[in-house]
Amino acid sequence: MGKDKLRRFAEIATFDNVIELENGKPLKGNWAKQQFKNNMPLILELGCGKGEYTVNLAKLYPDKNFIGIDYKGNRIWRGAKTAIEENIPNVAFLRIQIENLLDYFSEDEVDEIWITFPDPQPQISREKKRLTSPRFLEKYKSILKNGGPVHLKTDSDLLYAYTSEKIKELGLIAHIQTDDLYASALPDEVLSIKTYYEKKYLAHNKNINYLKFSFE
């Protein structure tokens, strides 16, 4: 591990807005009250990377709480540091494996989920690792409040098609979907937030797919 990564790992351990691994389990069911000291709605960004969506959503919606989730601490460092530097109180980051979500969030605790440019896991043998595979969708259903939406933004046409198929197979509700977000009339101040990876894809004229769906 390089010196910069080691420094960032050491630094996030001192951040009040970063919760790592087992330290997050006692907050299960009480994230708003214990971490944010309020009763505002809770929104998660899964695979948040550098936290661009988490931080920018928090700026747009100061009346909601946002948690970016990723396992890579050196990426989380960027978003967490920005939130501290800009004094954004409704942001936190949780460093865990996403497959362990149910150990950290209670039933009906989450109001909304964003999945932004996840690894599409294109190999058939890795389908279960896709963040929109049935095993992950079951976890989201468990922690989301009734009607709570899931948003997917991805450059992967394969993952978009796969997710669309699973939504139909499982009888979920697709509210919005497009295979070319920026050629549509959909982009607003929320959908126009761009992650580090999204900017790279757009620079190469890659289409961006977007899906909004819910379980009820």
User: 40-78 burial by CB neighbour count: b if 16+ within 10 A, else e?
Assistant: bbbbbbbbbbbbbbbbbbbeeeeebbbbbbbbebbbbbb
Q: At what angle do helices 3-12 and 73-85 cross, to 10 degrees?
A: 60
CA distance 67 to 47: 11
| Catalytic member of 119, 157, 179, 180 | 119
Q: In the chain, where do the E strands start and end?
A: 18-20, 42-46, 65-70, 91-95, 112-116, 150-154, 173-178, 209-214
178 CB contacts (<8 Å, ≥6 apart)? Answer: 184, 186, 209, 210
Residue corresponding to tokens 């959503």:
57
179 carries an active-site annotation: no
3-class DSSP assignment, residue 146: coil
Residue 37 phi/psi, 5-degree rounding, is 60, 40
Q: Which residues are catalytic, by number?
A: 119
